[in-house]
Amino acid sequence: MNDTAHHTPRTSAAGNTAQTVRQVSIIGLVLNLFLSGLKILAGLIGASQAVVADGFHSLSDCITDIIVIIGVKYWSMPPDENHPYGHQRIETIVSIVVGLALAATAVSLGYKAAVSISQTPASQPGVIALVAALFSIGFKEALYQYTVRVGKKIRSSALEANAWHHRSDAFSSIPVAIAVVAIWIFPQFRFIDSIAAILVSLFILHTAWKIVRPNIAQLTDEAAAAQIIAQIESVSRQVPGVEDIHAIRTRNAGADVFVDLHVLVKKHLTIDEGHNIARNVKRSLIAANDCIRDVLVHIEPH
């Protein structure tokens, strides 16, 4: 016998989460537009090609903000006839897109840095170029902290991925600031900024992989984390009437986990008694972990 109750409606919670994601992303979009304009202007005035390029890098962050703003409209939709498990996988896809955009940024920065090692800047950059780079580091790190904190709170992988895109912009400004100071103090060592930029690009590339890898795992229906499976087993065994359990299967859909397990009960129980045990197992698991969205319980005789 199966306890196949429909998914518990979470329309209100999903709506609030979508609104939060949208608000945070819009804030990031506006601030990125402001920062990119500021850095491009400062780079032109301060005669720093590196700062101008960094400004255009900040402008690229606006693309991922827009992707998240558009995507949240779709992944927050409730289940329907064609998508009975919901639309959370759209968030997974958006997270992968953001991660790939971050990887592309890292490759672009690393390539430009490698090419510029043997190049000599046309003129010495002004103080405003250094100020813009330092301001960008602090500004984007603060935006990262704000975005990732909200992303973790509402369990949004797309928002957390976009937060790392903000941090990559902060990291890319570090070699720019180093470049400006190095040219002032050691004109003969102007290649240092390029080497630093290559190291930063490798770090960003590693971060992109950390974003993309778990989301690809979701698309291939990888099981939930070991601690969640252990919790499922522990909670299920504590439900009165459960003699044993086996065949636990899990899969992720966005921030949610769907569970399928077999529960063994005494064979003389009535259908109604077995159904109540299955229902209690489902309720206990959902109450124990807010990541668990739905549970399918198969009742078998012990």
Residue-wise pLDDT for 60-101, tens only, equals 678 778 888 888 888 878 878 888 777 878 888 888 888 888
Q: What strands lie across the sheet with 2-3, from one edge to the other? A: 2-3, 292-301, 256-265, 244-253
- The DSSP symbol for 260 reads E
**Alpha-carbon Rg for the chain in angstroms:** 25
Asked whether residue 189 carries a pLDDT value surpassing 50, the answer given is yes
> In the prediction, which pLDDT does 75 show?
81
> In the prediction, which pLDDT does 282 show?
92
How many CB atoms are closer than 10 A to CB 80?
A: 9
Poorest-pLDDT segment among 42-56, 72-86, 97-111, 217-231: 42-56
Asked whether residue 3 carries a pLDDT value surpassing 60, the answer given is no
How confident is residue 5, by pLDDT bands cut at 50, 70 and 90?
very low
Tokens of 94: 């958006």
Residue ranges, CATH 3.30.70.1350, the chain: 226-301
Do strands 292-301 and 244-253 pair parallel, antiparallel, or not at all (unpaired)? unpaired
Residue ranges, CATH 1.20.1510.10, the chain: 2-219
> In the prediction, which pLDDT does 15 show?
64
| Residue 22 to residue 213: CA distance in whole angstroms | 24
Q: If you average pLDDT over residues 227-242, what whole number do you get?
A: 90
Strand intervals (E) in the chain: 2-3, 244-253, 256-265, 292-301
| Residue 291 to residue 288: CA distance in whole angstroms | 9
Q: Bridge-partner residues for 262, per DSSP?
A: 246, 298
> In the prediction, which pLDDT does 183 show?
72
Q: If you average pLDDT over residues 273-283, what whole number do you get?
A: 91
> In the prediction, which pLDDT does 149 show?
92
Work out the mean pLDDT of the chain and round it to a whole number.
81
How confident is residue 146, by pLDDT bands cut at 50, 70 and 90?
very high
| Residue 187 to residue 185: CA distance in whole angstroms | 6
- The DSSP symbol for 187 reads G
- Three-state SS at 295: strand
What CATH homologous superfamily does 2-219 map to?
Cation efflux protein transmembrane domain (1.20.1510.10)
Dihedral sign of CA atoms 57, 62, 65, 71 in order: negative
> In the prediction, which pLDDT does 119 show?
67
Q: Which amino acid is at 271?
A: I
Identify which has the larger pLDDT, 59 or 24.
24
Tokens of 135: 């301001």
Tokens 């919901």 — which residue?
86
Q: Is residue 203 within 8 Å of 171, Cβ to Cβ? A: yes
**Best CATH choice for the domain 226-301 from the list 3.40.50.2020, 3.30.70.1350, 3.60.120.10, 3.40.50.2300:** 3.30.70.1350
> In the prediction, which pLDDT does 171 show?
79
Q: Is residue 216 within 8 Å of 96, Cβ to Cβ? A: yes
Tokens 């969205």 — which residue?
293
